[in-house]
Amino acid sequence: DVKVTQSSRYLVKRTGEKVFLECVQDMDHENMFWYRQDPGLGLRLIYFSYDVKMKEKGDIPEGYSVSREKKERFSLILESASTNQTSMYLCASRGESRGEETQYFGPGTRLLVL
Amino acid sequence: QKEVEQNSGPLSVPEGAIASLNCTYSDRGSQSFFWYRQYSGKSPELIMFIYSNGDKEDGRFTAQLNKASQYVSLLIRDSQPSDSATYLCAAEARGYQKVTFGTGTKLQVIP
């Protein structure tokens, strides 16, 4: 019953490292999203993609980039990790199933930047 | 700044009671609204989606939308201890996939 998977549950990186977070969905959804979730701030949208090779900035894109080379895979890249990027990162995919809106989140990646 | 506001709680209700969770939003262009349930240490799970004024029911859950008042609510009937979680409200502008989330209301159902 796997729907959205993320490459890592926990990551520890050093300041300045390049970090790749991968997300894969098996529902043939066109829309995929990267969020970060921080206490007191809730879920904030970093980037989303509505098709292969298409991407749109969310509310907090600074310091991040994304890649969507295949429909099922959406990657988040931290070009040079900083301590303020320590967070829980959640990937989601969204589409329609039997006429109803559906969205599934992955299990999340808890990233610690030292 | 488009905002979605929720009371952080915790909201405590006895088992079997109706839990009422409320949400207001500032962007009048918002057209679609979502309720998610998030258990501690887990990722959010979509439980309701609503875009028309009025009520939408799914099992023990009812979402209510009032666009004139910019107000969305979620009612949980016959609350169970397993409903104890944080409930996130979210709003999306029409034709635009940017979804803005509230910070969530923590619900505690007391056995």
Residue B60 CB partners (closer than 8 Å, separation 6+): B76, B77, B78
Tokens coding A113: 């930047």
Q: In which band, very low, low, confident or very high, does the pLDDT at B96 lie, cut at 50, 70 and 90?
A: low
Strand B19-25 versus strand B4-5 pairing type: antiparallel
What pLDDT score does B1 carry? 62
Matching residue, tokens 């701030």: A41
Q: In which band, very low, low, confident or very high, does the pLDDT at B90 lie, cut at 50, 70 and 90?
A: very high
Q: In B, which residues are within 8 Å of A55 by CB distance? A: none
Burial A69-82 (b: 16+ CB within 10 A, else e): eeebebbbebeebe
What pLDDT score does A1 carry? 67
What pLDDT score does A103 carry? 87
Nearest neighbour of A42 by CB, restricted to B32, B46, B101: B101
Q: CA of B82, closest CA in chain A: separation in Å?
A: 19
Share of chain B above pLDDT 90, in %: 80
On whether any CB of chain B is under 8 Å from the CB of A54, the answer is no
What pLDDT score does A14 carry? 97
Contact assessment for residue B39 and residue B105, using Cβ atoms and an 8 Å cutoff: no
B99 pLDDT higher than 80: yes
Alpha-carbon gap, residue B5 to A105, rounded angstroms = 22
Alpha-carbon gap, residue A32 to A28, rounded angstroms = 10
What pLDDT score does B95 carry? 65
B22 pLDDT higher than 70: yes
What mean pLDDT comes out for the span B82-106? 88
Phi and psi torsions of A113, nearest 5°? -110, 120
What pLDDT score does B93 carry? 79
On whether any CB of chain B is under 8 Å from the CB of A27, the answer is no
Q: In which band, very low, low, confident or very high, does the pLDDT at B5 lie, cut at 50, 70 and 90?
A: very high
Alpha-carbon gap, residue A25 to B3, rounded angstroms = 29
B107 pLDDT higher than 80: yes
Helix, coil or strand: residue A85: helix
- DSSP designation for A59: S
Contact assessment for residue B45 and residue B29, using Cβ atoms and an 8 Å cutoff: no
Q: Report CB contact under 8 Å: A45, B99.
A: yes
CA angle A37, A39, A41 (to 5 degrees): 70
pLDDT < 50 stretches in chain A: none
What pLDDT score does B9 carry? 85
DSSP track, B42-106: S--EEEEEE-SSEEEEETTEEEEEETTTTEEEEEESS--GGG-EEEEEEEEETT---EEEP--EE
Residue A35, amino acid: Y
